Amino acid sequence: MVETYSRSYAQEMDARDDLKQFRDEFYLHNESIYMDGNSLGLMSKRAEKSVHDILDSWKNYGIDGWTKGEHPWYYLSEALGEKMSGLVGGKKDEVIATGSTTVNLHHLVATFYQPAGKRTKILADALTFPSDIYALKAQLRLKGYDESHLVQVESKDGNLLREEDIIDAMTDEIALIVLPSVLYRSGQILDMERITKAAHARGITIGFDLCHSIGSIPHDLHNWGADFAFWCTYKHLNGGPGSVAGLFLHEKHFNVSPGLAGWFSSAKDKQFDMDHTLTSADNAGAFQIGTPHLLSAAPLIGALDLFHEAGIEKVRRKSLAMTDYMMELIDHELEGHGMVICNPVNHAERGGHVYVEHPEAARICKALKLKNVIPDFRTPSGIRLAPVALYNTFEEVYDCVQILKTIMDGELYKQFENVRDVVS
């Protein structure tokens, strides 16, 4: 039997991997091990081709590219929404590719935050990505409320949230709830179905930020009854830096007027009537605002095709196997070096990355980069490592931990300052 902590074991796992053919779809840097796909996914060859296809349609059709060619621009946001719908468990008309994460959050909160009577507060958490909190505070100010109307559920340990604490905070003062599906730092998955049911039992509208879960874990938003969700597409979906984001709107809200209406909120057959009274689309398309950013949407055409071929269930199985293996190796190889794994161990509670804390995390990340391992540092002492199912290998996981062991054994990190770079 092959020793679990050996390179041979990792190679055996790679030989049995039923997703291994997808690695060839990506541009890889042979001299480096990329473990930062939860911040920015690698470019695929199909995503690159999709950009060239859209450029060619502009070159060959000019303005007629809106309705001609393989991917007519006028319908591209809806087509991409349909491609993403299976990844979030929504119906095809419930999902649209549009905007950016924070723009979509502003739009959804502008629509669904309707304070009345005692219900004037928004419920969030203290561990969510800062951009979401900035948007929620801004929306409160626009409605004439101060920050005391933002309720943030605290963490007992600074890494994880107790769902019981979230549910306990759902008082009769809460008008809207916005939570992450997966915590960006620790990788904890929140039970979206349970939390949604609890919110609705109390008459509260609820939405989720899926930035760290889409393309990494399966979802069932429609059946869970979530009112809305929003996400970026440049992490696990590999859509490229600044690629167009997405949102989910449950069909029960198709009759709701968009809070930030614009030209592309229109029903497709009415848009060019140029009427000053909006006839909004009767689906998630109503939550578009302006003209789609075609060159930022283009990579998603090819990137999403890979997920349809691989299947999100297979992606999830391999992701869990790789993060399981990484945690086993860290426990075995780095004992005594002060590395503390702070992400959940349970599969149902863990997203697609491993989160390790160490007091010297910033300089350790710099040392890893010097050794051609690309990690992700999170202030003040966190190291995120994301072995991505479509392009990383078990042997890369093995090598990553061995390089980390070499750095810690030799204290090679001490040549760097323990401060973050401008982008970390």
In a domain, 143, yes or no: yes
- For residue 3, the model assigns a pLDDT of 86
129 is known to lie in a ligand binding site: yes
Asked if 202 and 340 sit in the same domain, the reply is no
The HSE-up count of residue 82 (CA atoms within 13 Å, CB side) is 5
pLDDT at 421: 81
Indicate whether 300 and 316 sit together in one domain: no
Query: Same structural domain for residues 278 and 357?
Result: no
* 19 and 57, same domain (yes or no): no
Across the range 167-175, mean pLDDT stands at 98
Domain identity same for 305 and 318: no
What's phi and psi for 12, nearest 5 deg?
Answer: -65, -45
Give residue for tokens 């614009």.
Answer: 262
What does the pLDDT read at residue 49? 98
CATH no. for residue 211?
3.40.640.10
Same domain, 18 and 79: no
Residue 424 domain-assigned (yes or no):
no
Q: How confident is the model at residue 29 (pLDDT cuts 50, 70, 90)?
A: confident
Is 2 part of any domain?
no
User: How wide is the angle at C-alpha 225 spanned by C-alphas 222 and 226, nearest 5°?
Assistant: 90
For residue 66, tell me if it sits in a domain. yes
Q: How many residues does the chain have?
A: 424
Query: Is 131 assigned a ligand-binding role in the annotation?
Result: yes
Same domain, 95 and 223: yes
- Whether residue 231 is annotated as binding a ligand: the answer is no
44 within some domain: no
Mean model confidence pLDDT for the chain: 97
- Residue 30 pLDDT grade (very low, low, confident, very high; cuts 50, 70, 90): confident
Q: What is the pLDDT of residues 66-80, one digit of tens each?
A: 999 999 999 999 999
196 labelled ligand-binding:
no
Question: Could you say which of 253, 285, 309 is where a domain stops?
Answer: 309
Nearest to 41 by CA among 246, 299, 241, 293: 241
Show Cβ contacts of residue 32 under 8 Å, excluding neighbours closer than 6 positions. 372, 373, 374
Look up residue 121 and give its DSSP letter: E
Q: How far apart are CA 53 and CA 46, in angstroms?
A: 10
Inside any domain, residue 21: yes
∠ CA 413-418-423 to the nearest 5 degrees? 105
Asked if 356 and 248 sit in the same domain, the reply is no
Q: What is the CATH number of the domain that holds 328?
A: 3.90.1150.10
Query: Which residue's entry shows tokens 């349809």?
Result: 308
> Which residues, at least 6 apart from 414, have a Cβ–Cβ distance to it below 8 Å?
363
Q: What pLDDT band is residue 419 in, cutting at 50, 70 and 90?
A: confident
Quote the percentage of the chain above a pLDDT of 90.
96
**Angle between helical axes of 394-409 and 312-333 (0-180°, round to 10):** 30
Same domain, 142 and 276: yes
233 is in an annotated binding site: no
Q: What letter represents residue 324's amino acid?
A: D
Tokens of 226: 């979530």
Indicate whether 152 belongs to any domain.
Answer: yes
Task: Identify whether 172 is part of a domain.
Answer: yes
User: Does a cis peptide bond (omega within 30 degrees of 0) precede residue 380?
Assistant: yes
Whether residue 328 sits in one domain with residue 305? no
What pLDDT shows up at residue 422?
65
Q: How many domains does the chain have?
A: 2
Examine the domain organization and report whether 398 and 299 are in the same domain: no
Q: Where in the sequence is the domain holding 149, given as residue range(s)? A: 49-309
Domain boundary among 281, 309, 337: 309
Pair 25, 96 in one domain: no
State which H helix or E strand residue 366 sits in.
helix 361-370
pLDDT of 1 over the 60 cut: no
> Which residue did the predictor score with more confidence, 418 or 302?
302
Domain-terminating residue out of 264, 287, 309: 309
The answer, yes or no, to whether residue 423 has pLDDT greater than 90, is no
The 10s digit of each residue's pLDDT in 113-158 is 999 999 999 999 999 999 999 999 999 999 999 999 999 999 999 9
Rounded Cα distance, 266 and 278, in Å: 6
Q: How far apart are CA 55 and CA 45, in angstroms?
A: 16
pLDDT tens for 364-410 read: 999 999 999 999 999 999 999 999 999 999 999 999 999 999 999 99
- Going by pLDDT thresholds of 50, 70 and 90, the confidence category of residue 418 is confident
Q: Are strands 246-249 and 228-231 parallel, antiparallel or unpaired?
A: antiparallel
CA atoms within 13 A on the CB side of 164: 1
Say how far residue 114 (Cα) sits from the centre of its chain: 27
**Residue 171 annotated as binding site:** no
DSSP β-ladder status, 228-231 and 33-34: unpaired
Give the tens place of pLDDT for each residue, 230-269: 999 999 999 999 999 999 999 999 999 999 999 999 999 9
Residue 132 assigned as binding residue: yes
pLDDT at 195 over 70: yes
